[in-house]
Amino acid sequence: MRLFIAVDPSAEALTVLADAQHALRGSIACRSWSNLAGTHLTLHFLGEVAEADVGAIDAALARCAAAAVPFNLALAPIGAFPSPARARVLWAGVGGDLAGLAALHGALGEALRALGRPPEARAFKPHLTLAREPADPAAAGRAIAAITLPPVAWRVAEAVLYRSHLGPTGARYEPLARHRIGPGSLARLSD
C-alpha cells in the first residue's frame, strides 16, 4: 500500500484554492492540475508499506494525535518549488500556528523512526499543491505573484492516514483512519 499521513484544509479554504487555481488556469498551461477535492497537507509520505505494518503505523498516529493540541492554520501566499523563476510545482502556502503543526510533524517523525521508517531527508515545507510542471516556468512565477489569497483560517482537529491509489487519470486518496487531535482522544474517528 502507498501511504501518507496528512491534515486536511477546510471547505472554505478549498473554495479559495479553487478560485486561485481557476485564475491560474486562465493564464498558464500546466501538465497537471491538482484535484482540489483530494487536497491535503502531507505531514509524512510513507511510500509503499506492507499491509502487516499498517496497524503499527495507525497506532503511532493515534498516539501522536492524542498527545498533540488542536491548532489553527491559514492560507498563505502562493509559491513554487524550487522557486518562482524556475517553477515546477505551484502551491498555496500555509501559515497560522506553524509551531503546533511542526510539533505534530516532529512527533510523528520520531514515532515513525521508532518503527524503522525514517522521515524524508528534505525539510518540511507545509503547502497545498495546485499544479505541476508549468509549460513556461517563468510565466508561472509571474502568474502566482499576481494572485493574493485571503487569509482563510481553519482549525486542525484531526490527522488522517491515507492510502494513495495511482491511476491513469491521477491519484485517488482513500482515508484509512482519522484520529482526533487532542489529549484523551485515542478513539478512532472512522475506518
Q: What is the enclosing helix (H) or strand (E) of 36?
A: none
- CA nearest 139: which of 17, 29, 21? 29
Assigned C-alpha cell, 156: 486542525
181 touches 156 (CB < 8 A)? yes
Among the options 105, 127, 165, 179, which is catalytic? 127
Q: Does residue 127 carry a catalytic annotation?
A: yes
Among the options 22, 40, 44, 165, which is catalytic? 40
Q: Does residue 44 carry a catalytic annotation?
A: no
Distance of alpha carbon 60 from its chain centroid, rounded? 19
Which DSSP string do the residues of 156-168 spell out, in sequence order?
E-EEEEEEEEEET
By DSSP bridging, strand 153-156 and strand 71-81 are antiparallel
Could you list the active site residues?
40, 127
